[in-house]
Amino acid sequence: MVQKLVVYPDERVNISCTDVRNFGKTLDDVLEDMIDTANEHGLDALAAIQIAYPYNIIIIRNDNGSFDEYINPRILTNQGTFESTETTLYYPDIEVKLTRYDNIKLIYEDRRGNPQHTDISDRKLSSTMQRKLDYLFGGTFLDKIDQNRRDKIIDSLNSKGLKPYTDDVCPTFSRKDYFVSFTDKILFFMGLSLLTPLFSFAPQTVANIYAFDRYGFIAVIVLMIGFFFYAQYEAKKYRQCSSCQIGNNIGVIVKRVAVGIAFATASYFIVNPA
């Protein structure tokens, strides 16, 4: 069955594909859909993700007009490079020059799961295969060119009204930032309180400042725990949110808890009226 092609700004092409594990009817169906779609659009090559199937599958038209099928392909060896001028269906009307391997040795499986290998020395076929392999690993040929050139191409596509769907992208300000903001304010005043010995405050005032430090430290811990769980909730809410990664969140927490511990310890020795 002919499937709809994934064309920019549809970003599903960035999905990293998975190896085919079951060689059976489902694979046959996917391959038939790929062949039907390629024939319908007059294409010489197609990666499965280009019709939104996230599998490591490529088909390339051979000299007989039929398609060679490459399941789970990997480049085993490469030799030499050349400058390839390429276009791809995913980015309409875009042409780029980039470096590709001249000769490649490919290992792959056929639709029955039998291991196969082939040497590709034809530059056109070699560059086509490498371009399709980029798709399988969650990239496009734009990932292989320098940042400036890439930005210009994306800008030109945007100017034509082709922009990625951004409805569920991580917002520039999220509610979890309230936890961080409030914590930072407490930490600021805890830090400020360390200057207490420089002034001649009344004993009760010093006691109050020390009490603030103690409760402030507890508040920092509680806020950071709250931050962690709310950040986890937000990470699941937004599809695109690189700042929601658990590593970033842990970094935020560790930094503030460390500062809190340092200030609380310093307060114990410097501010503590006892």
Partner 1 sequence: MARVVVMGGGVSGHTAATFAKKWLGNEHEVVVVTPNSKWNWIPSNIWVGVGEMTKEDVTFDLAPVYEKAGIDYRQAKAVSIHPEGKADSDTPYITIEYTDPSKAGQKEELTYDYLINATGPKLNFGATPGLGEGSNIGTNTVSVCTADHAEHANAELQKIFEKAKAGERQKILVGTGHGMCTCQGAAFEYIFNIEHEANKAGVRNMLDIQWISNESFLGDFGIGGLHMKRGGYAASSRLFAESLYSERGIPWIIGAHVNKVEPGKAHYELLDGTMGEVDFDFAMLIPPFAGVGLTAVAKDGSDMTGEIFAPNGFLKVDADYTPKPYNEWKASDWPRTYQNPKYKNIFACGIAFAPPHLISKPMSSPNGTPINPTPPRTGMPSGIMGKTVAHSVVDLIKKGPDAPLHEASMAEMGAACVASAGKGLTNGTAAALTVYPVVPDFEKYPGLGRDLDYTFGEIGLAGHWIKHILHHMFIYKAKLKPGWTLIPE
Residues that bind partner 1 (CB under 8 A): 11, 14-16, 18-19, 21-23, 54, 72, 74, 76-77, 105, 107, 115, 117, 137-139, 143, 169, 232, 235-236, 238-242, 245-247
Quick one: which of 224, 140, 234 has its CA closest to 183?
Answer: 224
Q: Say how far apart CA 255 and CA 148 lie, in whole Å.
A: 34
| 213/234 with CB nearer partner 1 | 234
| Coil/strand/helix, residue 139 | coil
Quick one: which of 43, 99, 102, 53 has its CA closest to 75?
Answer: 102
DSSP code string of 188-249: HHHHHHTTGGGS---HHHHHHHHHHHHHHHHHHHHHHHHHHHHHHHHHHH-SB-GGGSHHHH
Minimum CB–partner distance for residue 26 and partner 1 (Å) = 11
| 118/208 with CB nearer partner 1 | 118
Quick one: which of 193, 189, 252 has its CA closest to 223?
Answer: 252
The residue type of 265 is: T
Minimum CB–partner distance for residue 258 and partner 1 (Å) = 12
Minimum CB–partner distance for residue 54 and partner 1 (Å) = 6
Minimum CB–partner distance for residue 237 and partner 1 (Å) = 11
| 40/119 with CB nearer partner 1 | 119
What is the C-alpha R_g of the chain? 29
| Coil/strand/helix, residue 46 | strand
| 160/236 with CB nearer partner 1 | 236
| 54/273 with CB nearer partner 1 | 54
Minimum CB–partner distance for residue 11 and partner 1 (Å) = 7
| 23/230 with CB nearer partner 1 | 23
Minimum CB–partner distance for residue 21 and partner 1 (Å) = 4
Q: Say how far apart CA 203 and CA 160 lie, in whole Å.
A: 69
